[in-house]
Chains A and B, each alone.
Chain A
Amino acid sequence: EAGVAQSPRYKIIEKRQSVAFWCNPISGHATLYWYQQILGQGPKLLIQFQNNGVVDDSQLPKDRFSAERLKGVDSTLKIQPAKLEDSAVYLCASSLGHELQETQYFGPGTRLLVL
């Protein structure tokens, strides 16, 4: 079974530029998560999708971050404009459903460096 795919793996941009990340979840997984993990911290949930609907985006900085999951499969996360403090690893995860017991499977992440 193929895992969660993410691209790009690395990205370096200057502040005020825009950037987009892509995630393809495990086939058949209805729930998709985007996390931000700053060095030395645990992952912080940015947004959770159930199929193509948003379940939780309470920690997404909506003035600069946006995410979509068209057709309930692939998802993109965009930052515009980027700030220095956005430097982090952006992790995508998916789970079969949204029950509390569901295992989340993480992708390899995208490392973003904002200069």
Chain B
Amino acid sequence: QKEVEQNSGPLSVPEGAIASLNCTYSDRGSQSFFWYRQYSGKSPELIMSIYSNGDKEDGRFTAQLNKASQYVSLLIRDSQPSDSATYLCAVYSSASKIIFGSGTRLSIRP
């Protein structure tokens, strides 16, 4: 079992719809969770961080964390073509190591 798992995609979503990206992790003691966006040929940039159960909203982005289910998700409302990218889930494990998933490719179709 991978430590941080994401569906590789591609996930295709029509413009204006909600994109839902999911991530599961194996270390139950993980403490901090991050979503990064990475455009093709570019470096990752942080979109959201979440540390406690529940939802955290920032503009069109909502991160959701469920520690009991070891699950973190990212919702993108009103998806735009500029949201087309690879989204990386990153987890700080109980051993204080940051582990990235392989990413989900998101494509927003006009």
Q: Which residue of A lies closest to B49 (CB)?
A: A101
The answer to whether the Cβ of A19 comes within 8 Å of any Cβ in the partner chain is no
Report the bound CA distance from A104 to B47 in whole Å. Answer: 11
Within 8 A of A (CB), among B35-61: 42-46, 49, 51
Q: How many residues of B contact A (CB 8 A)?
A: 22
Report yes or no: B102 in contact with A41, Cβ–Cβ below 8 A.
Answer: yes
Q: Which residue of B lies closest to A106 (CB)?
A: B43
Report the bound CA distance from A107 to B31 in whole Å. Answer: 25
Report yes or no: B51 in contact with A101, Cβ–Cβ below 8 A.
Answer: yes
Per-position contact with A for B75-110: 1 when CB-CB < 8 Å, else 0? 000000000000010101000111111110000000
Q: Which residue of A lies closest to B8 (CB)?
A: A40
Report yes or no: A106 in contact with B31, Cβ–Cβ below 8 A.
Answer: no
The answer to whether the Cβ of B22 comes within 8 Å of any Cβ in the partner chain is no
Residue from the list B32, B49, B97, B102 in contact with A56, Cβ < 8 A: B97
Residue from the list A40, A45, A104, A109 in contact with B102, Cβ < 8 A: A40
Residues of A within 8 A of B (CB): 40-45, 56, 58, 91, 100-101, 103-104, 106-109
Residues of B within 8 A of A (CB): 4, 8, 31-32, 42-46, 49, 51, 88, 90, 92, 96-103
